[in-house]
Amino acid sequence: MKSSLPKVLHAVAGKPMVRHVVDVAAALKPERTVVVIAPGQDAIAKVVAPAKTAVQPVARGSADAVRAAQKAMAGFTGDVLILNGDVPLIGVETLRALRRQLRAKSKPAVAVLGFRPDDPAAYGRLITGADGGLDRIVEYRDANDDERAIDLCNAGVYAVDGQVLWRYLAKIGSDNAQGEFYLTDLVAIARADGRRVTVVEGQAEDALGVNSRFELAMVESAIQDRLRRHFLTGGVTLQDPATVWFSHDTKLGRDVTVEPGVVFGPGVVVADGVHIKAFSHIEGARIAAGAIIGPFARLRPGADIGIDAHIGNFVEVKKTKIGRGAKANHLTYLGDATVGAGANVGAGTITCNYDGFAKHLTQIGEGAFIGSNTSLVAPVKVGKGAITAAGSVIVADVPADALAVARGRQEKKAGWAKRFRASQKGKA
């Protein structure tokens, strides 16, 4: 990855890869979850909490990584799912299918997830027998030409009978091209023990792993396509789906319209009938029914947009509650504020919320009219129905229904411009 950030903490759809995997496993309601990490990876432990972590002191292969979790799994003899923190698109139905295989009448010891990628590349190959069971897994480096011609590949995801897992792991050696302890050797060990091993064939998308920035981009593209399909089938109109980007937790109501180029960051909830115009960026915001957002709007965390409110072009809203039917249509910054129902905020308005040390609140009452190019120096309150004159700098509260004018008096000097131009002739 060429990054100071651990690979599994790189985000996909706004969430670290490893958190995707932990969350999909949580959908099965496991008795315990253990994440194996390298020494010093406290950042990963924090992200996966409250899941337990176990440390693999030296990276000696996948089987050795699983063995590092043995103490944390002490006393557990149920089904064990072994997943990879860099395969974030694995689906809950795929995991359920693996568990069902372990409970089949043939009572296999291991169920392996297989898939058929467009390009098998360097994936390990699944070698099946005449009975349809899995005979062995051959790593690409160790495979011969005939074995490499097989297109059924190993996804690296396993379901194992917990009663035999640790006994089998103890038998795995490192006599291979890399001198590592391969988890794939579970298959041969189970077969030698007279136990059946089966394959669950999943979709190629389930097995997409990340080992480079390029592969991270491919996984991001795949999850975005998945999210777009989800919203399109759920009553959302995406005018140009390929240009709209979602977070893993985006929530959109019915009859929402999203124009091209919109980006949803984490923590966005949009109610029914909202229209989000082109090139808006939204994160950590709630948008109530019937609101119109954009184009080119930016809603930052804490933005709470009321029913039928309008947030227009080049308007930025942060930690601000916008009341029902209120409007801020042009070139405005609203931060740490409340805007009452029906209020109108003119172009160029700024809430001056930060004094260099702390943030302060601006309150705009119901039906107030904020003139264009007003600076509201917080903490300040504009009362219900009050008006601020265009170009004002408001530093004190404005009572309800009052007019506040806070600007320099205009002077007119007749003929001054003409005299000025005459004085400048020949100087250019």
Tens of pLDDT along 263-291? 999 999 999 999 999 999 999 999 999 99
pLDDT of residue 355: 94
Distances (CA, A) of 87 to 1, 38, 215, 250, 339: 15, 18, 11, 21, 44
Active-site residue, 330 included: yes
**Is-contact 317 305, C-beta < 8 A?**
yes
Alpha-carbon gap, residue 116 to 150, rounded angstroms: 9
Q: In the prediction, which pLDDT does 3 show?
A: 96
> How many residues does this entry show for the chain?
428
SS3 state at 257: strand
> To 10 degrees, what angle do helices 17-26 and 92-102 make?
50
Reference 289, options 324, 337, 248; nearest CA is: 324
Strands 310-322 and 304-305, sheet pairing: parallel
The secondary structure element, H or E, covering residue 363 is strand 362-364
- The pairing of strands 387-388 and 403-404 is parallel
pLDDT of res. 175: 85
CATH of span 7-207: 3.90.550.10
Is the peptide bond prior to 39 cis by the omega test (within 30 degrees of 0)?
no
Residues of the chain short of pLDDT 70, as ranges, are: 428
Sign of the dihedral defined by the CA atoms of residues 8, 55, 162, 123, in that order: positive
Name every residue whose Cβ is closer than 8 Å to that of residue 263 and which is 6 or more positions away in sequence.
Answer: 244, 245, 280, 281, 282
Domain parsing of the chain, residue ranges: 7-207, 213-404
Of the candidates 102, 105, 77, the residue with the CA atom closest to the CA atom of residue 200: 102
Reported as a single tens digit per residue, the pLDDT across 345-404 is: 999 999 999 999 999 999 999 999 999 999 999 999 999 999 999 999 999 999 999 999
- Element spanning 376, H or E: strand 375-377
Rounded to an integer, what distance in angstroms lies between the CA atom of residue 19 and that of residue 320?
30
Architecture of domain 213-404: 3 Solenoid (2.160)
How crowded is residue 215: how many other Cβ atoms within 10 Å of its Cβ?
14
Helix (H, G, I), strand (E, B), or coil: what is residue 186? helix
Residue of 248, 275, 281, 330 with catalytic role:
330
Q: Are 406 and 393 in contact (CB under 8 A)?
A: yes
Q: Give residue 105's pLDDT.
A: 86
Rounded Cα distance, 326 and 380, in Å: 19
